[in-house]
Structure 1
Amino acid sequence: MAATRYRAPVAEGLCVAPLDDLVAIYHRASGLTHIVVAPVPELLAAMAGEWRSIEALAAAFGLADDEHAALIERLDELVAAGLVEAR
């Protein structure tokens, strides 16, 4: 079954450091540092400590219906990296 909601750690659970076009994100719970680009930091901020549906996230970022698949793909990558939970 596909995930319908996603949640990122609360803001205090991450240490975010911009590095020009890249962003280093230290995930305190895992002890891992991830190097990412936009829109990952913005996605994490939009879900910080709160369960969000695909529809709510798409609306927050002004995405059209045909862009939902790309959003789901990015979110699933963040789940695989351990930065986001899905249910």
Structure 2
Amino acid sequence: MAAPRYIADPEGALACVALDGLSILFHAPSGTTHIVAPPAPEILAALREGPADVAELLARLQARYDFEDEIGNDVVAARLDELEQAGLVRRA
């Protein structure tokens, strides 16, 4: 079975303000505000390039950011699950 692929709303659907190591996200389609920590904003930015599974997404993140070694597939998968539950990403 193929790994699930995820997508996020377009950039205009989400307003982001960085604040003391956290980010405040306003999701316009739902009218909901979220407080998230890295790598959640980075995952959302990487998903704007198009749908991706966990491995693709991790490769995009590693190409853009200098993440610590403990950021791996399991961390990205856990953050995707959280973002999906919050309604910020969905399966393609």
Structure-1-length-normalised TM-score: 0.85
Deviates more, 1:45-54 or 1:35-44: 45-54
How many residue pairs end up in the alignment? 86
Q: CA contact under 8 A between 1:54 and 1:72: conserved in structure 2?
A: yes
Question: Post-superposition shift, 1:50?
Answer: 2.1
Q: Which amino acid aligns with 2:84?
A: V
> C-alpha separation between the residues in 1 aligned to 2:59 and 2:80?
15
Structure-2-length-normalised TM-score: 0.80
Q: CA contact under 8 A between 2:46 and 2:61: conserved in structure 1?
A: no
Q: CA contact under 8 A between 1:10 and 1:49: conserved in structure 2?
A: no
CA RMSD, Structure 1 to Structure 2 (Å): 2.3
Specify every segment of 5 or more residues in structure 2 that has no aligned partner in the other structure, as ranges.
none
SS in 2 for 1:4: coil
Question: Post-superposition shift, 1:29?
Answer: 0.2
Q: CA contact under 8 A between 1:9 and 1:49: conserved in structure 2?
A: no
Q: CA contact under 8 A between 1:8 and 1:49: conserved in structure 2?
A: no
- Corresponding residue number in structure 2 for 1:47: 47
How does 1:18-57 map onto structure 2 within 5 Å?
18-48=18-48, 50-57=50-57
Question: Post-superposition shift, 1:67?
Answer: 2.3
1:73 aligns with 2:78: yes
SS in 1 for 2:72: helix
Deviations 1:56-77 (A, max 9, x none): 111112388x921221111011
Q: Percent identity?
A: 40
Q: Which amino acid aligns with 2:44?
A: L
Deviates more, 1:22-31 or 1:40-49: 40-49
